[in-house]
Amino acid sequence: MKGELLSNMDEATLVKCCKDNNAAAQKILYTKYAETMMILCLRYIPNREDAKETLMDGFLSFFQNINTFTNRGEGSLKAWLKKIMVNECLMHLRKRQPLFVTHEETTNEHKDHQENALDYLNAKEIIGMIHALPAGCRTVFNLYVFEEMNHREIAHILDISESTSKSQLHRARALLKETILQTS
């Protein structure tokens, strides 16, 4: 099939073509989701080159395992791809650095003297603050906030205790709050 014809097909047909190793269909699916998945990778891996490498590894895994995908309706392909990318990011982080390092909790609490501190920040600044978090805090924060996982799921996927997940999220929030208050 021509790439032009494929681009007008529904997702289920594109998946079927990808399962048949149709390169044009694979390119269309890659083009459709690459930008969104790159943004996801950058949430976990702030280094752009490492994030690109993880993105490529994720798509490779996606296409190698496409035959195991079962279409459950609109959006299920994107959800499956997103899960693969998150797993690739976590594997990358495990290979590169220890995710969790024990730190003493900071007891330096700031009074919320600036109720609308977030009003003065743009999305790029907030993402930069998330990137600056220690790897363990950043990972738990992303899984909890963006992937909407609960602490039990996070603990299972990262092979940590639920209390470690909770403390890493608490620490991430405290560090973000401190950073936000310092910039306002």
Asked whether residue 33 falls in the same domain as residue 84, the answer is yes
List C-alpha distances in Å: 76 to 18, 23, 114.
15, 21, 41
In a domain, 104, yes or no: no
Looking at the fold, whether 82 and 148 belong to one and the same domain comes out as: no
Low-confidence ranges of the chain (pLDDT < 70): 1-8, 97-121, 184
- Identify whether 106 is part of a domain: no
Do residues 141 and 154 touch, judged by C-beta distance below 8 A?
no
Domain with 138, as residue range(s), is 117-183
Domain finish residue from 62, 96, 130: 96
Report pLDDT for 123: 74
pTM, full prediction? 0.74
- Condensed to tens digits (0 to 9), the pLDDT of residues 5-32 reads 556 678 888 899 999 999 999 999 999 9
- What's 23's domain CATH number? 1.10.1740.10
